[in-house]
Amino acid sequence: MNDAVSFRPMTEADLDAVLNIEYAAFSHPWTRGLFLEGLQHYECWLMFAGTQQVGHGIIQLVLDEAHLLNIAVKPESQGRGLGLQLLTYLMGRANARQASECFLEVRASNQPAYRLYERYGFNEIGRRRNYYPAADGQGREDALVMACTLLE
Ligand SMILES: CC(C)(COP(=O)(O)OP(=O)(O)OC[C@H]1O[C@@H](n2cnc3c(N)ncnc32)[C@H](O)[C@@H]1OP(=O)(O)O)[C@@H](O)C(=O)NCCC(=O)NCCS
């Protein structure tokens, strides 16, 4: 495939397509309301492969700290390196906005995401017990906290 990857900022008009990917990718997706709020306060980005929207990511920037709040690749497009390209782009944005470190939380059971973050350079720095409702709806699940230094 020669589907070049590109990125552009998310707008309210994109939310139907974003929610399609979000609901397909997550057991506990962000709602439209959360995305609308996100558009006001955070950097919200879309990723395209050719003309097809294949993912999105959201980072919060507070002084020199970035927080990765959301990252998703459409299930049919996963496992092809798009997640790493999206994460790399988002970290580049954070760096351009003067962030020197990025933090995130990931479900303890989310191996694909954990591996992606490790591959990029994140390290596990802590655990928040019972942070998330469990993916199967039964009980709670721990969050692992990860951090990465963003180099120039
Ligand atoms: C986490 C997520 C964004 C990763 O996206 P992705 O596009 O699948 O990520 P990548 O393709 O870069 O990496 C995934 C795997 O594909 C492999 N891969 C990368 N490029 C590849 C290629 N060209 N060909 C084959 N496999 C490849 C990677 O090695 C990796 O394998 P591993 O996990 O066994 O090490 C995606 O799984 C997702 O949206 N999950 C649901 C939402 C979610 O959980 N988000 C994170 C919340 S904290």
**Residues carrying an active site annotation:** 105, 117
Its pTM stands at 0.95
Gyration radius of the chain over CA positions: 15
CA distances (Å), origin 52, targets 17, 45, 73:
10, 14, 12
Expressed in angstroms and rounded, the spacing between residue 41 Cα and the centre of ligand 1 is 27
101-107 vs 65-73, strand pairing mode: parallel
Expressed in angstroms and rounded, the spacing between residue 88 Cα and the centre of ligand 1 is 13
Is 75 a pocket residue for ligand 1 (Cβ < 6 Å)? no
Domain boundaries, the chain: 5-149
Q: Please state the φ and ψ torsions of residue 11, each to the nearest 5 degrees.
A: -125, 170
Per-residue pLDDT for the chain (152 aa), expressed as one digit of tens each?
A: 568 999 999 999 999 999 999 999 998 999 999 999 999 999 999 999 999 999 999 999 999 999 999 999 999 999 999 999 999 999 999 999 999 999 999 999 999 999 999 999 999 999 999 999 888 888 999 999 999 999 86
Q: In three state form, how does the secondary structure of 8-68 look?
A: EECCHHHHHHHHHHHHHHCCCCCCHHHHHHHHHHCEEEEEEECCEEEEEEEEEEECCEEEE
Homologous superfamily (CATH) of 5-149 is: Gcn5-related N-acetyltransferase (GNAT) (3.40.630.30)
Tell me the three state secondary structure of residue 150: coil
